[in-house]
């Protein structure tokens, strides 16, 4: 029996995966742990003062905003000519600035709302980009972003609500 050579081997699949790969899903879900741990610390006594948990939540949200903005930089580097590359490069730093202003220039409740707004805005722009340049990233990436954004925004919303109902 002949062993296939590199030249005769067919790729397992030429289509990108339609399901979210476990290697992306698990770290993404683990990234929600600080959001939910800190949000729950505003409701349940974990030994962290509520205001400290909220401040840490705003800081973590700022880090995540920086990450989702940086995704646009990475995509812009290899984007096809049909993609709005210059806009992607410029936008890639805006989420980090939103997070930075949420940390340094706002009361905790305003900081939470700024991070929520930044995450939702980034998700909306991801949606628009996916429609404009559908081959820029696999569809599962947007589904994963939707899951993670929803989880983060829900946790931030819980903490914001708890500030006024404690």
Domain boundaries, the chain: 30-165
> What DSSP state is assigned to residue 10?
P
Assess contact for 122 and 65: CB atoms under 8 A.
yes
pLDDT tens-digit map of 102-153: 999 879 999 999 999 999 999 999 999 999 999 898 999 999 999 999 999 9
Nearest to 58 by CA among 6, 107, 1: 107
For the CA atoms of 108, 102, 125, 40, the dihedral, rounded to the nearest 10 degrees, stands at: -30
Q: What is the pLDDT of residues 4-56, one digit of tens each?
A: 444 444 444 455 567 999 999 999 999 999 999 999 999 998 888 889 999 99
For residues 94 and 98, give the distance between their C-alpha atoms in angstroms, rounded to a whole number.
6
In angstroms, rounded to a whole number, what is the distance separating the alpha carbons of residues 99 and 60? Answer: 9
């Amino acid at each position: 029996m002949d062993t296939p050579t590199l030249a005769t081997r067919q790729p397992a699949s030429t289509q990108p995966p339609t399901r979210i790969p476990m290697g992306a899903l698990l770290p993404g879900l683990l990234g929600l742990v600080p959001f939910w741990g800190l949000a729950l610390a505003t409701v349940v006594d974990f030994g962290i003062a509520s205001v400290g948990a909220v401040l840490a939540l705003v800081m973590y949200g700022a880090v995540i905003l920086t990450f989702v903005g940086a995704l646009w930089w990475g995509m812009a580097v290899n984007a096809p000519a049909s993609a709005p590359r210059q806009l992607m490069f410029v936008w890639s730093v805006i989420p980090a600035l939103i997070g930075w202003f949420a940390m340094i220039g706002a009361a905790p409740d305003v900081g939470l709302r700024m991070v929520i707004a930044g995450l939702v805005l980034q998700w909306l722009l991801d949606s628009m980009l996916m429609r404009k340049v559908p081959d820029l990233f696999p569809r599962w990436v947007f589904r994963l972003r939707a899951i993670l954004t929803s989880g983060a925004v829900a946790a931030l919303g819980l903490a914001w609500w708890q500030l006024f109902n404690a």
